[in-house]
Amino acid sequence: GINAEYGGYRVAHLFWISGFHFIARIISTYFRVICAIDIHPAARIGKRFFIDHGIGVVIGETAVVGDDCTLYQGVTLGGTGKQLGKRHPTLGKHVFVGCGAKVLGSIRLSDNCKVGAGSVVVKDVPQGFTVIGIPGRCIPVSYTHLRAHETKANL
């Protein structure tokens, strides 16, 4: 499923950047139906991109995903309306987005960010922060590590 969709995206993307938009959309639609993952052929995706349990993942037309990023099921990298130009998020390198999270609008998640499951992110996220909640709130990495150690100590 996931490898098929990712391979389908790569083929569709080649057609898209070559100017064959209609063929790219046909390929994209075919793989969306087969895999239940919707990656627009114009999206730009880096190396070693990984979708785990990909059902329901949506990646919009102007989205940019950096190298070594991971998305879980139900993640949306989407727009917030009908504005022209760049309208989808940009993910830096080594970004992790948990199940069901929505990253919306022309925002940037800088390198080494994490988005908690079910979060809704509508503002830029600085490098190394974790985002949780609706709307998403940024938590510095040092606080995240502190809470993880406290949880382990309480077990």
Phi-psi region of 79 (alpha: psi -120 to 50; beta: other; left: phi over 0): beta
96-106 burial, b for 16+ CB within 10 Å, e for fewer?
bbbebbbbbbb
Which tens digits make up the pLDDT trace of 119-152? 999 999 999 999 999 999 998 765 545 455 454 5
What are 52-77's pLDDT values in tens digits? 887 889 999 999 999 999 999 999 99
Query: Is the N-terminal amide bond of 135 cis, ω within 30° of 0?
Result: yes
Instruction: Give the CA count within 13 Å in the CB-facing half-sphere of 41.
Output: 24
* Cα 11 from Cα 141, distance rounded (Å): 37
